[in-house]
Amino acid sequence: MMILFTILTFLIYLFSKKAYTKWSLFFFHPLLLAPVLLIILISVTHVSADQYLVDSKWLTHLLGPATVAFAVPIYKNLSIIKKYVGTIIISITSGTLVAIFSTFGLSKLLHLNTDFINSILPRSITTPIAIEVSKEIGGLPTLTTVFVILTGIIGGIVGPSVIKGLSIKTPIAKGLALGMGAHGVGTNKAIEYGRQEATFSSLAMIFAALITLIWGAFLIPTLMNFNIHHIF
């Protein structure tokens, strides 16, 4: 059973990826079509979601080595990083602050409970690190995973419109925006734009994760103690 769901997930993912490459419609996105098909499959076969998660844990586990693997593009693009280090750090520091403050403000407007707010704050960074930040600030890791995935799917869909709408021209701005806004899914989208965009996007993702780790330790605890009701 264990291997079966791993293989099925892989096959359905491949199908979804092929369909998305061919037709490029947002509902064929591998993070939308594949989970929907799998949810239908497990409900038809009466397998619980928890059972499915246990059976496919090898795939989730690969996020660990995949994070390690980001050392390869960083190493290969070291000269680009050195050249643009200022731009990257300023843009991503701003991006992470905007992500945290806008998410916090909107969460307060929606009167989300504290568990939800703590879980949603690290939503714009890559899953393994978002989970760490979530644990650190008192969120629920599984709920954080859901928000990170939602951010990825939504970011992958709205990203190209944002780039088009603001008529962003440079590869660095496109790449940093996609990686900052939608982590791995954004980086996946950036590959469609080109090599440079993909590089900057993966760099944005790594820097966003690192900088958010710092905010998680210092800024977010202060933010949570601050009574925002005086403003809203």
Partner 1 sequence: MKIIQNMYFTNGENQRTINSIVNFGMKRSFNSSFCIMEGIVTRKLGVIIIQVVFLHVFLFLGAALKEVIPLPIPASMFGLFLLFIALNFKIIKLEWVERGANWLLAELLLFFVPSAVGIVNYDEIFSVQGAEIVGLIGISTIIVMGITALIAEKITGWKRSEQH
Minimum Å gap between C-beta 122 and partner 1 is: 11
DSSP state of 77: T
Q: Which is nearer to partner 1, 142 or 226 (CB)?
A: 142
Residue 185: CB atoms within 10 Å: 26
Binding to partner 1 (CB under 8 A): which residues in 90-149? 90-92, 94-95, 98-99, 102-103, 106-107, 110, 112, 116, 120, 123-124, 127-129, 131-133, 135-136, 142-143, 145-147, 149
Minimum Å gap between C-beta 138 and partner 1 is: 12
* Rounded (5°) CA angle 198-136-156: 25
Contacts of 226 (CB under 8 A, 6+ apart): none
DSSP state of 32: T
Q: How far apart, in whole angstroms, are the C-alpha atoms of residue 37 and residue 204?
A: 31
Place of tokens 């990257």: 88
Q: Which is nearer to partner 1, 111 or 229 (CB)?
A: 111
DSSP state of 194: -
Note whether 209 and 129 are within 8 A (CB): yes
Minimum Å gap between C-beta 226 and partner 1 is: 19
Binding to partner 1 (CB under 8 A): which residues in 144-203? 145-147, 149-155, 158-159, 162-163, 166, 168-170, 172-174, 176-178, 180-182, 184-185, 187-188, 202
Binding to partner 1 (CB under 8 A): which residues in 49-68? 49-50, 52-53, 56-57, 59-60, 62-68
Minimum Å gap between C-beta 216 and partner 1 is: 7
